[in-house]
Amino acid sequence: MADQTAENVGGSPDGRRFIPNSPRAVRAAQFRASRLVVLMKLILPALALAIIALIVSWPQLIPDHTKFRLGDKVKSVFVAATDGLSMDQPRYVGVDEEHRPYEVTASRASQQSHGDDRLDLVNPQADLAVNDVEWMALSAATGVYDKKQQTIDLAGGVTVFHDRGYTVTSDTAQVLLDKGMATSDDPVSAHGQSGIATGEGFRIYDRGERIIFTGKSKITFFPAQIQGGKPQGVN
């Protein structure tokens, strides 16, 4: 009778082992599924927090050297403070006695301390406005700018260019920014539309309105360019 019941129900005596166990298997599967849901509820938020933390910390892990970083800047300032202070691409502006503007720029400036009025300049250039439309520029390899005295001592090859088209070169020169003057006691050469000149020094007054060559000097005029019997820009 037992075998017949087994055949009717499962077709095999072995079928009697699985029928009573089916509800237990269902409950086990449901339990495992519920545990998986609980684990996912814990894992997914933790994974999201980890991704957010990685995004926030990524610039620190792989820094961009093209951007300003405070840590590097502070370090460089402290290092420079042991031997003085320095600045890249400085720019200083002012006006002379007649309220005409001037500007001093350089690729680099350094000074011994905050209270020092003198700055050592690399590749300095001074631009002085002659009037509303004309200007004069002086450049050199090195220079010392005195903020209090408003002077620049240029060295390493000085070039003076005036907007009227003439150029003066010398080894050194001192520029008096407040007076619009430039002087040198080194050999000088000049050339422009009016002619060429050499001398043992020069004096430039009123921002290039007058130039005087000192010592043994030689001037060659270009007659076609002389206006009124006098070369333009040369005295």
- What are the tens digits of pLDDT across the range 73-130? 333 333 344 456 888 999 999 988 888 899 999 999 998 887 788 999 999 999 999 8
Closest CA to 204 of 177, 223, 171: 177
The low-confidence residues of the chain, meaning pLDDT below 50, are 1-20, 63-82, 229-235
Pairing of strands 195-199, 218-221: antiparallel
Residue 27 confidence (pLDDT): 61
**What pLDDT score does 51 carry?**
78
CA–CA dist 50, 89 (Å, integer): 43
What pLDDT is attached to residue 203? Answer: 95
Place of tokens 């005029």: 221
Residue 138 CB coordination number (10 Å):
25
Name the β-bridge partners of 22: none
**pTM of the model as a whole:** 0.59
- Type of residue numbered 73: K
pLDDT at 146: 93
**CA 84 to CA 7: how far, in whole Å?**
103
How far, in Å, CA of 192 to CA of 233, rounded?
Answer: 9
- Give the pLDDT confidence score for residue 28 in this predicted structure: 61
Question: What residues contact residue 60 under an 8 Å CB cut-off, 6+ apart?
Answer: none
Distance CA(6)–CA(13), nearest Å, equals 5
